[in-house]
Structure 1
Amino acid sequence: MMPRLRPFDTISRIAVGLAALVVLCLVTIDALFGLVADPAAREADRRRAVSQVLADQLMVAATRLGEREVQQMLDAFRRRETQALAIVLRPTGAEPVAGSGILQPAGDVGRMHLAVPVQLQGRDWGALELQWQPIPGEGWPQRLLSLSTLWPLLCFLGMTVLLRLYLGRVLNQLDPSGTVPGRVRTAYNSLTEGVMILDEHGRILLVNEAVAQITGRRDVSIGRQIEDIAVFASMRQDDPSRPLPWRMALENAVGVERIRMVIGEGSRARILLVSCAPLGPELDNPIERRLRRRKGAEGCLVVLADQTSLERAHEQLSRALKDLQGAHEQIRLKNEELFRLATRDPMTGCLNRRAFFEQAGALKERCNLEGRPVAAVMCDIDHFKSFNDRYGHAIGDEVIKAVAGIYNGSAREADLVCRYGGEEFCVLLPDCEEAVALAIADTLRRLVQDTAGDGIDHDPRLTITSSFGVAVTRSTRVGLEALIDQADQALYQSKRNGRNRCTLHEEKVAEPA
C-alpha cells in the first residue's frame, strides 16, 4: 500500500534537500576538477594558447626578420587556423604595421576578439590583435541545452524522485497517525479549535486539521518538535519574558488558560488564545503532585482558539466609537464657534449688545437679590472721527481693536465687556462700590492713554484717549437700562468737561493726574 502523503510534505522536503546537497557537491567537484568537459571553453582556451604562441614567435622574429617575413608568418597562421578571421600587428598608439584579413570593430556581436601584448627588448611595443569566428555552441540557446548545463538539473530531478519514493516507503512505517482509529480522527478533525497532543519532549503526537487552517501552515505534522515549526517559534505574547504556554505545562505540570498570542505580521496577523493542560494520571497525594511538578508532565494538550475575527470586530467598534467621539468633539467646537459668532463682536471679541443685555440682566438680578452693588462704566474714544478722517478707516479699526484689547485684558472673570456701538463700550462691574468703580475706570483711562497707540503701526505714534462715565446702584428699582443711561450721562459730562477723564454719576469729575 502506497503512503498517504501530501504532494509536498515533510518527506518531499527531505528528498529535495538531500538531492540538492548531492548535486551541489557534484557541481563543486566539476568546477574544481572538470568532471564534465565543456567543448566551447576548451576551444576558447586553445585559441588563446595559439594566439600567445604566435605573439611569442613574432617577438623573437621581429628583431631578425623584415616586414615581408612578418606578413608571411601572419598569412601562414591564417591558412593554418581557418577559424581566424583577421590578424593585425599594431604598435601602441599607431596604425597597424602588418595584418592579414579585415579586422571588424570589436563591438560586433558573435565574434571572439583577442589582444595579446607584444614586447621587444623588455619594453611594451604593441599588441597582436586576432579576431575569430564564433565558437559553435557558445550562444545562450546552445549553452542552455549543452550537457554541461543540463546534467545538474537532470541529476537533481532524478535523485529527488528516487529519494522521495524510497523515504516515503521507509518512513511510512514510522507514521504514528496510522494507529489512530478513523472514527477518532474524524471526530478530532471536526473540532473548530486547533488541538495538538505533545509528548514530554514537545514533539507532536496528534494534530487536527483546524491547526493548519488557523496557522495557515501545512508543515504542522506528527513527529516534529513544536518549536522547530516556524509559526510556533515566532508566536508573540504580551509578556515576552514568559515561557511559551506548552513549555510551562510540560516543565511545571500545571495548566495555563487563554494566553493571548499573535502569529504573522500586519494585515495577515492572527490572534490566538492558547490553553495548555498537562497529561498524566490523576494524583490525590499532595506529595506525589509536587514530585510530578518537579519531574514535569508526561505530555501536554494544546488548544488554539482563533480570536482574530472577534478582535478585529472589537477594533472596528473602537474605531467607530473614536470616530463618533471625534465627530462629537467637532460638533462641540462648531457649537462653540457658532455661540461665539452669535454673542461676540467679530472685530473686538467683546460681547455684542444682545448677548450683553442677556447676561448683564441676569447678573444684575443676582446682585440685587444678594444686596451687592453693580457698576456700569460707559467708555468712548475721544475724537474718534478724526482718526477715520485723517488716517483712514483701516487705522480707525486698529484704534478700536487696541482699546478693546485693553478693556478685555483688564476685565475680571465676572465682568462683562460690550461693544456698545461704534467707538463706544460698556463695562458691567459686579460687587463694586463707587470708589472702586471709579478707580477701575481711571485705570482703564490711563492704560488707553499710555499704551493703546503702541499696538498700531503708524509713525508718528498715535495719541489715543477715552472718556468714561460711571454709575453704581444697589436698588432693584433702577433697572439695567436705567443704570447704563446714568453711566452714559456721566460719560457726556466727561466729554463736556474736556475729555480724557472719568465722571461718577451725580458726582464731581475726577481730574486726570
Structure 2
Amino acid sequence: MKRLTPIFWMSLGLVSLTLSILLISDLMIGLIPDQAAQIFTYRQKYSEAMAIQYSLLAQRGDDQAIQQALDLLVERNADIQSVALVLESGEIMAQAGPHGALWNQPSGGHSTADHIQIPIFNGDLHWGTLQLRFPSPDTGAWANVLDNNWVRFLALVMVYGFLGYFLYMKRTLRQLDPSSVVPMRVQAAFDVLAEGVVFLDGDDRIVLANRAFGLIVDVNPSDLIGSTLDRFEWTSPDTANPLISYPWKAARLDKSLNLDVPLVWERMGQTVKKFRVNCTPIFGERKQVRGILVSFNDVTELEGTIQELELSKTELEKLAHQDPLTGCCNRRALFEAFENQWDRVQRDGTDLVCIMGDIDHFKSYNDRFGHAVGDQVIQIVANVLSTALRPLDIIGRYGGEEFCILLPGQTCVEGMLVAERLRENIERLASTAIRTTSGQKITMSFGVSAAILGASDHLELVAQADKALYVAKENGRNRVEQWTVDEAVAESAQAEKLMSHSVS
C-alpha cells in the first residue's frame, strides 16, 4: 500500500484549519441564517395575513363564511394540518381538520414553529384567537442535512480546498527541513490567515510562523525561526489538571492529530491570552514525523463573553429566587424548599419545624413614618432573623410583613426555643437600628408547628403555624404560641356550633 506523503497531511491540516475558521466565523457573526427561525417567521406572517381576513369576517358576523374559509384553508394548504377559531371565552367557534387531537397549547401562550396563534379583534375588542397547526420542522433528518446549503458549501470547501492546497504545496514545498528556505508565496498564503500558524521541524524548532502568530506573541515572525514554542509560558486553563505535555509534543509522540487543546499564554505570571490549539503531524516517506503544523485560535474574547453570560445567568437565577427587598427567599423559592424538606421528612422520618412570624402593628409604621421607613423595618427584621439561624435553616418572606422559617431536623420544643430567641432579638435589636422611628418599639409575634403534630402535607403545616400566630396576636402580641391538637378540636367545635346556630 502506498504511503501518504507529507504534502497530503499538510493539505489535510490546512483544510481542517480553513473549515475551523469558517465554522468559528459562523458561530461568532452568524454567516448562515437559522432555517428554523425562517420557517417560524414565514408561518407567523402567513398566519397574521389570514387573521386579518378573518377579522374582517368577524366584524360582519358572517360565521358561515368563516367556516367555509377555514375548510378551504386546510384543503388547499398541505402545510396546514388543522385550524380553529377560538372565541375569547375559550369556545371553539369554527375549526377544520383534527384540531382537537393535534393542538397542544404552548406554555405561556406564545406561538411556536408548529403551533401559531394570532389574536383577532372586532374593532378594538379582542374577539378571539386564530390557531393554526403546522407540521413540526424536521431539521434532524439526513435528507434535510444534505440539502442544507451550508453543509454543501463546507463539503465543497473541503474537497476543492484539499485539492487546491495539495497541488499548491506539491509545487512549492519539497521538504520540511530546518535548513530549507520557505518560499515567499507560502509565507504570504499563511500570513492572510486570522489564526496563528506555526510549522515545527523534527526537533520542534520553528520553520515558519505567520504574521498572526507574531502579533499574538508580539515578536517578528522572522525572529522566531530556529527557536521553539517552549520559550513561551504555556499553561493549562484548568488549575486542577496542570499541563503535562505540550500538545505538539503529544502529537509527535502519538503520531496522530491533537485537536482543540485549551492553552493559556502567560507573561510574567499573568494570563495574557487563551487559545484552542490544533496540531497536525507531517510524516515522511517512512512514516516518521518530519514536522508538526500547529494552529492557535485566540478565544480570549469568546470565553470572556461566555463567562459574562454565565454570570448573568447566575444573577437572573438569584433574582428569580430572592425577595428583592430583604434578600430572603421569595414565596416561590420558599415553597420549593418547603416541598423538598417535606419529602425528606416523609422519606427519612425526621421532623420539620415551621415558624410563622409577623411584625406587630406594622401598618402604624407606614402611616406615621411613610413606606420608606416601613421598608427599612422589614429589612432590619429580616436581617435580625437571618443572623440568628443556622446555615441549613430556611427563611422566606411569606408576604408583606410576614416571614416563614423552616428548621429541618428540629423538634417542636426546639422550635419554640428558637422562636423565643428570635422574638427577644427583634425586641432588643430591631428598634435601635432605625433612628427615624422616634424610639417606637419593634416587636414580632410567632406561631410554631411541627410535622410530627400530624399535618398531612406542607401546606397544612404552614396553616397550623399561621393559626398559632393568630393566637399569639389575639393574646396580646410580642409572644410565641405553639399549635396544638386542642386548637384543632376547638376550631372544629366552634365550626359545629356556628353551623348548628345558623340551622336553628
Q: TM-score, normalised by structure 2?
A: 0.41
Q: TM-score, normalised by structure 1?
A: 0.41
Answer with 1 or 2: which has the greater Rg.
1
